[in-house]
Amino acid sequence: NARVGFALLMLWALTTPATAPDWAAASLLALLPLAAVALNRRQLREQEAWRGAIDAQGLAMAEWQLPAGPHHASARW
């Protein structure tokens, strides 16, 4: 389905005359996925820093009471 949609979009783009504002709008729309990827990577870096801070404090994300004693799950799971 994605290939058919992409093919139809390309056919439409090739047959439609474009003006300067159209090219500018298309360029901005093309940059949106790149911005989303950049923001996602930034959030992942912040999440890793958060996990490191939890480990540095000696805190655990979960704890189980096993017959051998308590078991803690680290934030770096």
pTM, full prediction: 0.36
Q: Is the pLDDT of residue 3 over 60?
A: yes
More confident: 77 or 65: 65
Q: Domain containing 52: what range?
A: 28-77
Euclidean distance between the first and final Cα of the chain, in Å?
Answer: 36
> pLDDT value at position 22?
80
- Residue 27 is predicted with a pLDDT of 75
Q: What length does the chain have?
A: 77
| Whether the Cβ atoms of residue 15 and residue 34 lie closer than 8 Å to each other | no
3 within some domain: no
Determine, yes or no, domain membership for 9. no
> Into how many domains does the chain fold?
1
Give Cα 42 distance to the centre of its chain: 9
Contact 76, 51 (CB under 8 A): yes
Query: What gap in Å lies between CA 75 and CA 49, rounded to an integer?
Result: 11
Q: How far apart are CA 76 and CA 47, in angstroms?
A: 11
pLDDT in tens, 22-75: 878 877 777 777 788 788 777 766 666 666 676 677 665 666 667 777 666 665
| Paired residues of 69 in beta bridges | 66
